[in-house]
Chains A and B, each alone.
Chain A
Amino acid sequence: MGGLQKKKFERGSATNYITRNKARKKLQLSLPDFRRLCILKGIYPHEPKHKKKVNKGSTAPRTFYLLKDIRFLLHEPIVGKFREYKVFVRKLKKAYAKIEWSDVERLKENKPTYKLDHIIRERFPTFIDALRDIDDALCMCFLFSTFARTGKCHVQTIQLCRRLTVEWMNYVIASRCLKKVFLSIKGIYYQAEVMGQLITWLVPYQFSHDHPTDVDYRVMATFTELYTTLLGFVNFRLYQSLNLVYPPKKLSALSASLARVVSSVEEEEAQLDQFPTEGEDMENMEAREKELKQEEKAKKLFEGLKFFLNREVPRESLAFVIRSFGGEVSWDKSVCIGSTYEVTDETITHQIVDRPSVDNQYINRFYIQPQWVYDCVNAKILLPVEDYFIGVTLPPHLSPFVEEKEGDYVPPEKLKIVAMQQGHKSVTEDEENEDEDSNEEAEEEEEDNDEEEEEEDEEEEENLKKLEEQRSKGKVKVTPGKMKVENPARLEQEEKAEEKRLAIMMMKKKEKYLYDKIMFGKKRKVREANKLAAKRKAHDDAEKAKKKARK
Chain B
Amino acid sequence: MAATGSSTRASKPSPGSESGPGTGDIPRKRCPEPESEPQELLGAGPADGQDDDTDSEESDYSGLEDSGSDSDSEETGSDPDSGEEDGSKEASEETGDEDAEVQTEKNLNLQKNDEYQQDSSDEEDIRNTVGNIPMEWYADFPHVGYDLDGKKILKPLRSKDELDAFLDKMEDPDFWRTVQDPQTGRDVVLSEQQVALVKRLQKGQFGDINFNEHEPSVDFFSYDVMIHPVTNRPSDKRSFIPSLIEKEKVSKLVHAIKMGLIKPRRSQDDSKGRYYDLWASEEQGRVRDLRMHVPAPRVPLPGHEESYNPPPEYLMTPEERAVWEQQDPEDRKLAFVPRKFSSLRQVPAFERFIHERFERCLDLYLCPRQRKMRVNVNPEDLIPKLPRPRDLQPFPTTQSMVYLGHEGLVRSISPSPCGQWLLSGGDDGSARFWEVSSGRCVKKVEVCGAIKSAVWNPNQGLSLVALAVGSEVLLVTPPSTAADKQVVTATERLLSEEVESAMGEGPVIWSNAEGEELLHGIRIKIQHPKPVSQVTWHSKGDYVAAVMPDHSSHLQVLIHQVSKRRSQSPFSKNKGLVQSVAFHPIRPYFLLATQRSVRIYNLLKQELSKKLQGNAKWISSIAVHPGGDNVICGSYDCRLSWFDLDLSTKPYKTLRHHRRAVRSVAFHRSYPLFASASDDGSVIVCHGTVFSDLLQNPLIVPVKVLKGHVVTHDLGVLDVTFHPSQPWVFSSGADGTIRLFT
In chain B, residues 321-380, which have Cβ atoms closer than 8 Å to a Cβ of chain A? 336, 338-339, 341-345, 347-351, 353-358, 360-362, 364-370, 375, 377, 379
Q: Is the CB of B312 within 8 A of A515?
A: no
Q: Interface range on chain A: under 10, 10 to 19, 20 to 34, or 35 or more?
A: 35 or more
Residue among B312, B367, B385, B397 having the largest count of chain A Cβ atoms under 10 Å: B312
- 14 A-B residue pairs with Cβ-Cβ distance under 8 Å, sorted by A, are A44-B368, A46-B292, A113-B272, A184-B308, A186-B306, A189-B302, A204-B353, A205-B347, A220-B358, A233-B279, A355-B345, A478-B398, A478-B708, A480-B708
Q: Which 9 A-B residue pairs are closest in the complex by CB-CB distance?
A: A207-B349, A47-B370, A401-B301, A536-B313, A47-B368, A535-B313, A45-B368, A396-B311, A184-B306
Contact B353 A396 (CB under 8 A): no
Give the contacting residue for B312; candidates A187, A235, A508, A536; CB below 8 A.
A536
Pick from A119-127, A421-429, A452-460 the stretch touching chain B.
A119-127
Known: A212-B355, A396-B307. A72 touches B288 (CB 8 A): yes
Contact B275 A246 (CB under 8 A): yes
Bound CA span A127–B282, Å:
11
For chain B, residues 285 to 332, give those with C-beta under 8 angstroms from any C-beta of chain A. Answer: 285-289, 292, 294-296, 298-299, 301-304, 306-314, 317
Query: Using Cβ atoms and an 8 Å threshold, which residues of chain A touch B317?
Result: 535
Q: Within 8 Å of chain B (Cβ to Cβ): is A349?
A: no
A106 CA / B257 CA spacing, docked (Å): 13
Interfacial residues of chain A within 488-502, with CB under 8 A of chain B in the complex: 495, 498-502
Q: Give the contacts of A379-423 with B (CB-CB under 8 A).
A: 393-394, 396-399, 401-402, 411-413
Q: Which of A133-141, A291-299, A430-438 contacts B (4 or more CB under 8 A)?
A: A133-141
A533–chain B nearest beta-carbon distance, Å:
8
Q: What separation, in Å, do the CA atoms of A433 and B95 have in the docked complex?
A: 107
Using Cβ atoms and an 8 Å threshold, which residues of chain B touch A328?
Answer: none
Contact B383 A503, beta carbon cutoff 8 Å = yes
Known: A110-B266, A113-B269, A223-B361. 20 other contacts (CB 8 A): A39-B361, A44-B365, A110-B263, A121-B279, A136-B299, A186-B356, A187-B350, A205-B348, A207-B349, A216-B358, A233-B277, A237-B279, A396-B311, A397-B310, A478-B399, A480-B398, A502-B386, A511-B382, A515-B382, A536-B311
Residues of A participating in the B interface, judged by any CB pair closer than 8 Å: 35, 38-39, 43-47, 49, 63-64, 66, 68-69, 72, 75, 106, 109-110, 113, 115, 117-118, 120-123, 125-127, 130, 133, 135-136, 139-140, 143, 160, 182-187, 189, 200, 204-205, 207-212, 214-216, 219-220, 223, 232-233, 235-237, 240, 246-247, 312-314, 354-355, 369-371, 393-394, 396-399, 401-402, 411-413, 476-480, 495, 498-508, 511, 514-515, 518-519, 522, 532-533, 535-536, 539
> When the two chains form the complex, which single residue of A183, A209, A502 contacts B389, counting CB atoms closer than 8 Å?
A502
Closest residue of chain A to B278 (Cβ to Cβ) is: A233
Task: Select one of B308, B365, B368, B702 contacting A35, CB under 8 A.
Answer: B365
- Once A212-B354, A215-B355, A502-B702 are accepted as A-B contacts, the answer to whether A109 and B285 lie under 8 Å apart by CB is no
> Max chain A CB contacts within 10 Å: which of B289, B338, B390?
B289
Query: A518 with B310: in contact, given A118-B285, A215-B358, A220-B357 (CB under 8 Å)?
Result: no
A207 surroundings in chain B (CB, below 8 A): 348-349
Query: Do the beta carbons of A135 and B288 come within 8 Å of each other?
Result: no
Nearest-Cβ distance from residue A122 to partner chain B, whole angstroms: 6
Check A127 against B279 for contact (C-beta < 8 Å). Answer: yes
Which residues of B, 654-708, contact A by the 8 Å Cβ criterion?
Answer: 655, 657, 700-708
In the bound complex, residues from chain B placing their C-beta under 8 Å from that of A371 are: 309, 344
Does B276 reach chain A (CB closer than 8 Å)?
A: yes
Distance in Å from the Cβ of A364 to the closest Cβ of chain B? 24
Q: Check A518/B386 contact, CB under 8 A, given A44-B365, A313-B345.
A: no
Expressed in whole angstroms, the Cα–Cα distance for A21 and B460 within the complex equals 86
Q: Is there contact, CB below 8 Å, between A519 and B379?
A: yes
Q: How far is the CA of A235 from the CA of B349 in the complex (A)?
A: 29
Of all chain A residues, the one with the shortest Cβ separation from B345 is A354
Interface of B is mostly: loop
User: Which chain A positions have C-beta within 8 A of B286?
Assistant: 72, 75, 122
**Shortest beta-carbon distance from A64 to chain B in Å:** 7
CB neighbours of B348 from chain A (8 A) = 205, 207
- CB-defined contacts of A133 to chain B, threshold 8 Å: 295
Is residue B388 contacting chain A, with contact meaning CB distance below 8 A?
A: yes
Q: How far is the CB of B436 from chain A (nearest CB, A)?
A: 16
In the complex, which residues of chain A have a beta carbon less than 8 angstroms from the beta carbon of B263? 110
**What residues of chain B lie closer than 8 Å to A186, measured between beta carbons?**
302, 306, 336, 350, 353, 356
B400 within 8 A of A: yes
Give the CA-CA distance A205 to B349 in the complex, in Å: 6
Give the nearest-CB partner of B343 in chain A. Answer: A354
Determine the chain A residues whose CB is within 8 A of the CB of B388 once the complex forms: 499
A105 to B379, CA, bound (A): 72
B354/A209 in contact, CB under 8 A: yes
Measured CB to CB, the nearest residue on chain A to B339 is: A185
B166 to chain A, nearest CB (A): 66
Q: Are A312 and B303 also in contact (CB < 8 A) when A63-B368, A503-B384 are?
A: no
What separation, in Å, do the CA atoms of A393 and B341 have in the docked complex?
10
**How many residues of chain B are within 8 Å of chain A by beta carbon?**
95
Contact status B366-A45, CB under 8 Å: yes
Cα(A246)–Cα(B365), bound, Å: 32
A209 touches B349 (CB 8 A): yes
Partner of B275, one of A39, A233, A355: A233
Is there contact, CB below 8 Å, between A143 and B308?
no
How long is the Cα–Cα vector from A113 to B269 in the complex, in angstroms?
9
The reply to whether B309 and A125 contact each other, CB–CB distance below 8 Å, is no
A129 CB to nearest B CB, Å: 9
Return chain A residues, CB-CB under 8 Å to B383: 500, 503-504, 507, 515
The answer to whether A68 touches B292, judged by C-beta atoms less than 8 angstroms apart, is: yes
Q: Please give me the residue from chain B that is nearest to A228 by CB atom.
A: B273
A413 to B398, CA, bound (A): 50
Q: How far is the CB of B337 from chain A (nearest CB, A)?
A: 9
At the interface, yes or no: B402 with Cβ under 8 Å from chain A? yes
Is A237's CB under 8 angstroms from B277's CB?
A: yes
Give the distance in Å from the alpha carbon of A143 to the alpha carbon of B352 in the complex. Answer: 12
Contact for A183 among B266, B295, B344, CB less than 8 A: B344
Nearest chain B residue, comparing its CB with the CB of A215: B358
Contacts of B657 in A (CB 8 A): 505
Contact partners of A121 in chain B: CB under 8 A: 278-279, 284-285
Contact A370 B344 (CB under 8 A): yes
In the bound complex, residues from chain B placing their C-beta under 8 Å from that of A126 are 279
CB pair B279 A210 closer than 8 Å: no
Q: How long is the Cα–Cα vector from A102 to B488 in the complex, in angstroms?
A: 131
Kindly state the separation between the CA atoms of A211 and B375 in the bound complex, as whole angstroms.
Answer: 42
> Is B307 touching A125 in the complex (CB atoms < 8 A)?
no
Establish whether residues B354 and A211, one from each chain, have CB atoms under 8 Å apart when the complex forms: yes
Contact (Cβ within 8 A) A122 B312: no
The CA of A123 and the CA of B286, in the complex, are separated in Å by 10
Closest to B383 in A: A503
Cα-based distance from A313 to B360 in the complex (angstroms): 30
Cα–Cα, bound, A212→B351 (Å): 9
Residue of A nearest to B305 (CB): A399
Which of these, A68, A354, A501, contacts B289 with CB under 8 Å?
A68
> Is there an interface contact between A185 and B350, defined as CB atoms closer than 8 Å?
yes
